[in-house]
Amino acid sequence: MASIRNKNLLKRTARVYLNDLNTGKSQVVRQFLCQCHDVMQYFVDLFWQRKDFSGKLASLPTVHRAKDKFGITTRLSQALAKQAGECVRSQHKKDRKRKPQLRWHTVTLFYHFVTIEPFKGNGFDWCVKLIGSGAPKLDIPLKSTKMINQRLKDGWQLSKTIRMGLREGRLWIDFIFEKERRPLKTEGKIVGMDSNYKNGVVFSDFQVVGETIYPRIQGFKKRQKNTHAEIKSMLGHALKSVDWSSIQVLSIEDLKKVKHGKRGTFSRVFNRRLSHWLYRTLVQLLERKCEEEGIQLVVKDPFKTSQFCSCCNRWDRRNRKGDRFKCVHCGYQSHADHNAAHNLELLGAAGVYGLRFYLSSKRQSFG
């Protein structure tokens, strides 16, 4: 069960729903997933009870317990023990340490259990073959997706491992793609990013994207479904239109320190929650983008960035009024988000010391 966690390897997934699978095969896959779920929950319970949060490979006697209890192969038992171990380990790292209940049926299948080949014939593009070793023997024909084709076109390698699962009644398979991490850029600009969604995603090099997201959110009806998925996809699109070529360091606000309500324009509780979700999603997308582009992402405490004048380097809480920034000391005016993005750029340049130290070391005064 060699699984090398290689930090220089980037991983992405692309999900395919098995809508075209015939009933008989679908039944077999569902049964297999249910079995895997039960075995994994058994291991989760066992590790939790033993207070084994190491995520290390289970011993052979432990593996054999599930093998005998559930009548599965040693290899499958081993694979499921490993996933359960990782689940327990990551749960134990969280603040609320409660024993995980596996809600979703998801299993990672290594090359012992599965192969992926181009489909021979018409109507499909891929053939995922379950090849035994504890998994059933079964061919699953699949149509390719835009995402899969795009990843391959962008030079990602298809991994021999897949994930398979059942969610809300639908079977799916995740293809996993890998790529060597490119080294961090050695030259380019430090750029800050700020966003409150009313104005989109604002970069201090004057790029602005995603201005259509806020109007779209306002158009959502109460209880409308799939709004999160739609916004996420809009964010993804928006980031695609950013020119990353000259950016070496991207400086953003630390999500944990973004105050409730600071994101500004959302008044009701639901909207505030949505805006937090948005920011988190945006940060996740940015992290991935930066990884792929070799851009260093730095996360800064946003303390006072919106009230700090990037022209005369003074702080004053009177400087910000809604969307406008106007410095009460020097009269400098700009859009509040541009000013905040610029301050984040300064924070990026200030490195670990933070803005106050950086600027005071430049012998500036503060209001």
Could you list the residues that contact Zn ion (CB under 5 A)?
Answer: 309, 311-312, 327, 329-330, 332
Cα distances from 100 to residues 53, 85, 148, 153, in angstroms, run: 12, 11, 32, 38
10 vs 311, which CB is nearer to Zn ion? 311
Q: How far is the CB of 205 from Zn ion (least distance, A)?
A: 21
In the bound state with Zn ion, the residue whose beta carbon lies nearer, of 126 and 325, is: 325
Using N-to-C axis directions, what is the helix angle for 227-240 and 269-293, rounded to 10°?
40
Taking a C-beta distance cutoff of 8 angstroms, is the pair 158, 116 a contact?
yes
For residues 214 and 325, which CB has a smaller minimum distance to Zn ion in the complex? Answer: 325
Q: How far is the CB of 308 from Zn ion (least distance, A)?
A: 9
DSSP string, 86-134: HHHHHHHHSSS-------SEEEEE-TTTEEEEEPSSSS-SEEEEEE-BT
- Which of 297/311 has CB closer to Zn ion? 311
Pairing of strands 296-300, 247-253: parallel
Q: From the CB of 312, what's the least distance to Zn ion, in Å?
A: 3
Burial group, residue 54, by CB count within 10 angstroms (0-12, 13-18, 19+): exposed
Separation of alpha carbons 231 and 199, rounded Å: 15
- Least gap, CB of 169 to Zn ion (angstroms): 58
Minimal distance, residue 327 CB to Zn ion, in Å: 3
- Cβ proximity to Zn ion: between 248 and 343 the closer is 343
Neighbours of 226 (CB within 10 A): 9
Residue 118's contacts (CB-CB under 8 Å, 6 or more residues apart) are 125, 126, 127
Q: Which is nearer to Zn ion, 143 or 329 (CB)?
A: 329
Interacting residues of 178 by C-beta distance below 8 A, sequence separation 6+: 9, 10, 11, 156, 157, 159
What is the 3-class SS of 257-315, one letter each residue?
HCCCCCCCCCCCHHHHHHHHHHHHHHHHHHHHHHHHHCCEEEEECCCCCCCECCCCCCE
Nearer to Zn ion, 295 or 340 (CB): 340
Judged by beta carbon, residue 102 or residue 312, the one nearer Zn ion is: 312
Nearer to Zn ion, 172 or 332 (CB): 332
Closer to Zn ion by Cβ: residue 77 or 339: 339
Closest approach, Cβ 331 to Zn ion, in A, equals 7
| H helix or E strand, kind and range, residue 84 | helix 74-93
Give least dist CB 367 to Zn ion, A. 8
Exposure string for 120-133, b = 16+ CB within 10 A, e = fewer: eeeeeebbbbbeeb
Q: How far is the CB of 328 from Zn ion (least distance, A)?
A: 8
Q: What is the Cα gyration radius of the chain?
A: 25
Q: How far apart are CA 122 and CA 327, in angstroms?
A: 67
For the bound state, the minimum distance from the C-beta of residue 349 to Zn ion, rounded and expressed in Å, comes to 18
Q: Which amino acid is at 147?
A: M
- Closest distance to Zn ion from the beta carbon of 232 (Å): 37
Residue 158 host element (H or E): strand 157-167
Q: Which two tokens stand for residue 11?
A: 């991983």
